Amino acid sequence: MAKALIFAGGSGRRMNSGSKPKQFLELHGKPIIIYTLEHFEYHEEISDIIVVCIKEWIEELQGFLRRYGITKVSKIVPGGATGHDSIYNGLQAMKEEADFNEVVLIHDGVRPLINAELISQNIEAVKRYGNAITAEPVRESVVRSADGINISDVPPRSHMYIAKAPQSFYFGDILKLYDMAHNDRLKTIDSSHLCSKYQEPMHIIISTKNNLKITEPADFYIYRALYEALESQQVFGL
């Protein structure tokens, strides 16, 4: 069995959604965070879930969990100032109940377009390789520039991937890295970035298509269109 750590501590300043955080925006009356949690709730290999949430919205989240029958959430932890801080807070809370040899999947609360197969692949890869970084091959050329003006390099596209989520590890391994970063006062973009800072080997799992992170207003409308297209495929057998 494995645990899931879902971080949903962001305020959504780029969404222009008023006072509502992006993870609580609704599609067909259901918040995005619930769509995300349902993937882990219904997966037979996930034993429990810890959610990191904006402190002022914890009570609201608790109500949504009851309404939608999400029973695997064992703890809700206040988020930090950054995504890095939120993951750190979640891992510290997980110490009370997780075994160091247990698999933990770290996932964005605003990445609802994943599936059970991707979760299973992450768990299996951790058991086989020690970790799993969900990633997607780039579809266009990537350029390198230190100053935003001059291009210094154009790496081969076949060598380039975009890091996505889940990003999965043995609990003891990822806790150690976040503790080291905390002591070193290091903040990273995500767990793969943290691993690279400490030169930890990583293993790629190819992402499901359309594994979108809802960050800006356009992302929400893209998500809505993709979700409705997937619903149509299921209804009409396309």
| HSE of 229, CA atoms in CB hemisphere, 13 A | 8
Give yes or no for a contact between 115 and 91, defined as CB atoms under 8 angstroms apart.
Answer: no
pLDDT tens digits for 116-142?
A: 999 999 999 999 999 999 999 999 999
Q: Is the pLDDT of residue 238 over 60?
A: no
Closest CA to 121 of 161, 168, 173: 168
Are 42 and 55 a contacting pair, CB within 8 Å? no
Q: Within a domain: residue 20? A: yes
Render pLDDT for 39-88 as a digit per residue (tens, 0 to 9): 999 999 999 999 999 999 999 999 999 999 999 999 999 999 999 999 99
- Nearest Cα residue to 192 out of 115, 89, 87, 92: 87
* Cα within 13 Å of Cα(120), Cβ side: 6
- CA dist 87 and 127 (Å) reads 22
Kindly state whether residue 149 falls inside one of the protein's structural domains: no
Residue 193 included in any domain: yes
| DSSP-assigned letters across all residues of 188-238 | -SSHHHHHHHTT----EEEPPTT-----SHHHHHHHHHHHHHHHHHHHHT-
d(CA 83, CA 110): 12
Q: Could you list the residue range(s) of the whole structural domain that residue 111 is in? A: 2-141+155-236
Q: Please check the confidence at residue 236 and state whether its pLDDT lies above 70.
A: no
Length of the chain: 238
Which residues are CB-neighbours of 225 under 8 A, at least 6 positions away? none
Nearest to 127 by CA among 91, 169, 98, 95: 169
What CATH number does the domain containing 51 carry?
3.90.550.10
Q: What is the pTM of this model?
A: 0.93
Looking at the domain assignment, is residue 212 inside a domain?
Answer: yes
Task: Select from 93, 77, 176, 94 the least CA-distant residue to 131.
Answer: 176
| 98-to-4, 26, 65, 171 alpha-carbon distances in Å | 11, 32, 22, 7
- pLDDT tens digit sequence for 190-218: 999 999 999 999 999 999 989 999 999 99
In a domain, 147, yes or no: no
Please provide residue 29's backbone torsions phi and psi, each rounded to the nearest 5 degrees.
80, 0
Quick check: is 57 in a domain? yes
pLDDT tens track for 153-175: 999 999 999 999 999 999 999 99
pLDDT band, residue 231 (cuts 50/70/90)? confident
Domain count, the chain: 1
